[in-house]
Amino acid sequence: MQAVEIIRQLPSLHGFTQLVKINKGYSPDSKYLVTVGETRYLVRLSDLAHHDKRAVEFSLLQELAKQGVRTHKAVNYTLFQEANVSAMVVSFLEETPADEIIQELSDSEQFHLGLAAGKELRKIHQVSPPQIIHWETTQLKKFSTYLKAYQQDAYQLPQEAKLLRFIETHLPLLKQRPITLLHDDFHLGHIICKGHTYNGVIDFNGYDVGDPYHDFYNLALFSRRQSIPYCIGQIDGYFSSAPDDMFWRLYALYAAMTVFSTIVWTRHYDPRSFDDALERIHMILQDHDNFSSIKPIWYAENLFTP
């Protein structure tokens, strides 16, 4: 059964006038932008092997709406056993991804965009997680897997020994961390703007559960290179007062750990972008003076003051 035939059977999309496939992103799902009258919807077709995760995602979107999070509104979720797919229909969040316009914004506008995003991230972390995990065990297992793969790779970081010493020293911080819902890919590419202001966050399909501070690792890996004012705003918006030392220690730990996972993931899945990944990694190392410093230089030295 082809995608158009499946979409025709969805009650909320009867009489649709336009169907456009979306090819952006790394997800194995098929995504379509469907227009009914003057309303646009996002349809995600997933293999039934992912049904459990997609069903939970749909429920989470409903819970996020109750929490006041501005994201896709859950419309319906349907199984098509013969086609071996599920179809999730959600509202389409209009306007522009922030990473496409961030350089057009003034420093003040970038900061206030981050401020709004940080407040929204705090709301996301108020939603009850769909399961409870042992954070320390989960993270140690993931890191061990990535580290073994990295050690078998031809590329080795010159700063490897110092970085590993820092990680090993700070791993005890993973004990007894709170467990919340995580967006797990919270960065400017998933922040939607209307004009120059915040309009919502998308792509909860990669949701996870764990330490809420882990949702800040993309500041170090992606957003910092695009906008320091945004990054400062996201942190300030999330916290009602200055972040404490525990936040910065965990922020630095997760930034350090993501160096190895980024090398492994990029070499395996997107080798053509490896030079770009190395540029971002070297920026992380510089920001933390090869992890002699917990707090990144762009925040510690107030490189932007609102």
Residue 27 has pLDDT above 90, yes or no: no
At 305, is the pLDDT very low, low, confident or very high (cuts 50, 70, 90)?
low
pLDDT of residue 304: 66
List the structure tokens of 150.
């990295």
pLDDT digits (tens, 9 = 90+) for 45-82: 999 999 999 999 999 999 999 999 999 999 999 999 99
Please check whether residues 169 and 251 belong to one and the same domain.
yes
Please check whether residues 75 and 207 belong to one and the same domain.
no
**Which among 190, 77, 70, 210 is positioned nearest to 140, based on CA atoms?**
210
Say if 305 falls within a structural domain: no
Please check whether residues 171 and 25 belong to one and the same domain.
no
Please check whether residues 139 and 166 belong to one and the same domain.
yes
Instruction: Please compute Rg for the chain using Cα positions.
Output: 20
pLDDT of residue 1: 66
Contact 194, 94 (CB under 8 A): yes
Please state the rounded mean pLDDT for residues 227-240: 96
Average pLDDT, the chain: 96
Please state the rounded mean pLDDT for residues 240-258: 96
Is residue 33 helix, strand or coil?
strand
pLDDT of residue 165: 98
pLDDT digits (tens, 9 = 90+) for 74-107: 999 999 999 999 999 999 998 899 999 999 999 9
Please check whether residues 147 and 233 belong to one and the same domain.
yes
At 240, is the pLDDT very low, low, confident or very high (cuts 50, 70, 90)?
confident
Of 91, 106, 130, the residue at which a domain comes to its end is: 91
pLDDT of residue 302: 67
Residue 132 has pLDDT above 90, yes or no: yes
Please state the rounded mean pLDDT for residues 271-278: 98
Burial string for 4-31 (b: 16+ CB within 10 Å, else e) reads eebbeebeebeebeeeeeeeeeeeebbb
pLDDT of residue 212: 99
Please check whether residues 273 and 181 belong to one and the same domain.
yes
Residue 234 has pLDDT above 70, yes or no: yes
Please check whether residues 169 and 229 belong to one and the same domain.
yes
Residue 207 has pLDDT above 80, yes or no: yes
> Considering its fold, how many domains does the chain have in total?
2
At residue 129, φ and ψ (nearest 5 deg) are -70, 145
In percent, how much of the chain has pLDDT > 70?
A: 98
The residue range of the domain holding 36 is: 3-91
At 209, is the pLDDT very low, low, confident or very high (cuts 50, 70, 90)?
very high
This prediction's pTM? 0.94
At 247, is the pLDDT very low, low, confident or very high (cuts 50, 70, 90)?
very high
**Which among 135, 147, 139 is positioned nearest to 179, based on CA atoms?**
135
Residue 306 has pLDDT above 70, yes or no: no
Say if 219 falls within a structural domain: yes
Distance between CA 150 and CA 264 in Å, rounded?
6
